Amino acid sequence: MTSADREIETDTDDSEHAELVAELLDGRHRALARVITKIENRAPGYREIVSRLHEHTGSASVVGITGSPGAGKSTLVDKLAKAYRDRGETVGVIAVDPSSPYTGGAVLGDRIRMASNVGDMEVFFRSMSARGSLGGLSTATSDAVKALDAFGKDRVIVETVGAGQNEVDVVKTAETVCVLVQPGSGDDVQMLKAGILEIGDVFVVNKADMDGAQQTVAELEEMLHMRDEPTGGLQMGHHGPLSDGPGGASSNGTGDAGATEAGASETATGGSEDDGWEPEVLETVATDGTGVETLIETVGQHRDYLVESGDLDAHARTRYAEEIRQHLRADTAALLEEELVARGGVDTLAERVFARKTDPYTVADEIVGPLADCLRREE
């Protein structure tokens, strides 16, 4: 790329985006990096870029790694990437780290652990910050995954701290979700209750050479089996509505019960009638690579299961449906924000509500009313 090319990049016309996309598809690392930057910044034209990329996606298999801070996610990701590379596959990694809600600043430290893959450009590692206040982290992440997919990466690993709904949404963009737990801390298992237990396809007790590893494995096994018992099912029901809103059909199996009739018969161990995949609990020592091969095999088995049962495609459709909804929500919210400004800003309206001249519902009706009329007239 010459410096002349770069000057063109500053304006935002179609041909420039087409060129960037062409370079990305051509395997240029710089173009891939720049596309992800545009996605992160929501720079002008990023939507067009992602739209152009979409038709080239769908070949990468996406693994999500989540777990509490210090569980060893980055180290394990490093070893996973290395193992995939040894098999001749190319790897993309998106590592999400928290950012300060006050300054927006962040120290993205996951890259330090990527010791096994230094100098190997076939491992494309990208740190992303949560950039909390903007929301839409899951949109940015899934767009970045698309960029890596279109670039031609065989494997994409998404790594995130499993702390809240945001992160759960991020990791749901993956086909296979690995939840990492470290031994000897009951707190971790407590954390798992708050929504992550349901999304894990594979559970990994890392640092398995530490005291208490066996107990943690046993605790996890016990909790996972509770999912299959009738009472466990009832508890799941409580979680259901929470995770079900935005695209949560994956864990709460009722939605795709029909799709798994073929695969359900072979689940001898579990009583889960609608989900033939029994989450496994594995042990690893990420620092020396112990158990990584088993993990890779299990991830492979899970993908095979998804393909055979038809869940892979079903999940993809669910994901796209959710993406559509998310874009619609964000776009209409932006439109309505414009309208708010045109009406003198939300503070003015709040003041009128405070003075008891109107109420929030009436205000909302007044603002959304014209939009609703307009949409309904179209038909």
Q: Which parts of this chain interact with another protein (CB under 8 A)?
A: 1-3, 5-6, 9-10, 29-30, 33-34, 36-38, 40-41, 43, 99-100, 102-109, 111-112, 115, 118-119, 121, 124-127, 129, 131
Question: Cβ neighbours of residue 224 under 8 Å, at least 6 residues apart?
Answer: 197, 203, 279, 281
State how far the alpha carbon of 78 is from the alpha carbons of 10, 83, 92, 108, 370, in Å.
Answer: 35, 9, 11, 15, 53
How many other C-beta atoms lie within 10 A of the C-beta of residue 331? 11
Residue 124 β-bridge partners = 92
Q: Between residues 99 and 250, which has the closer beta carbon with respect to another protein?
A: 99
| Residue 121, Cβ density class (10 Å: 0-12 exposed, 13-18 middle, ≥19 buried) | exposed
How many whole angstroms separate alpha carbon 340 and alpha carbon 361?
A: 14
Q: Between residues 144 and 170, which has the closer beta carbon with respect to another protein?
A: 144
Residue 203 β-bridge partners = 179, 281
How many other C-beta atoms lie within 10 A of the C-beta of residue 127? 16
How many whole angstroms separate alpha carbon 5 and alpha carbon 24?
A: 15
Among candidate residues 147, 153, 155, 233, the one with its CA nearest the CA of residue 198: 233
How many whole angstroms separate alpha carbon 13 and alpha carbon 100?
A: 34
How many whole angstroms separate alpha carbon 338 and alpha carbon 340?
A: 5
Q: Between residues 33 and 242, which has the closer beta carbon with respect to another protein?
A: 33
Q: Copy the structure tokens of residue 151.
A: 């670039």
Q: Between residues 133 and 190, which has the closer beta carbon with respect to another protein?
A: 133
Angle at 238 between CA 237 and CA 241, to 5 degrees: 85
Of the CA atoms within 13 Å of residue 114, those in its CB half-sphere come to 23
Q: Between residues 118 and 262, which has the closer beta carbon with respect to another protein?
A: 118
Q: Between residues 125 and 277, which has the closer beta carbon with respect to another protein?
A: 125
Question: Cβ neighbours of residue 66 under 8 Å, at least 6 residues apart?
Answer: 73, 159, 160, 161, 162, 167, 168, 171, 177, 178, 179, 180, 196, 199
Question: Cβ neighbours of residue 302 under 8 Å, at least 6 residues apart?
Answer: 175, 176, 201, 202, 277
Q: Between residues 73 and 302, which has the closer beta carbon with respect to another protein?
A: 73
Q: How far is the CB of 114 from another protein (least distance, A)?
A: 9
Q: How far is the CB of 147 from another protein (least distance, A)?
A: 12
Q: Between residues 70 and 271, which has the closer beta carbon with respect to another protein?
A: 70
Q: Between residues 36 and 196, which has the closer beta carbon with respect to another protein?
A: 36
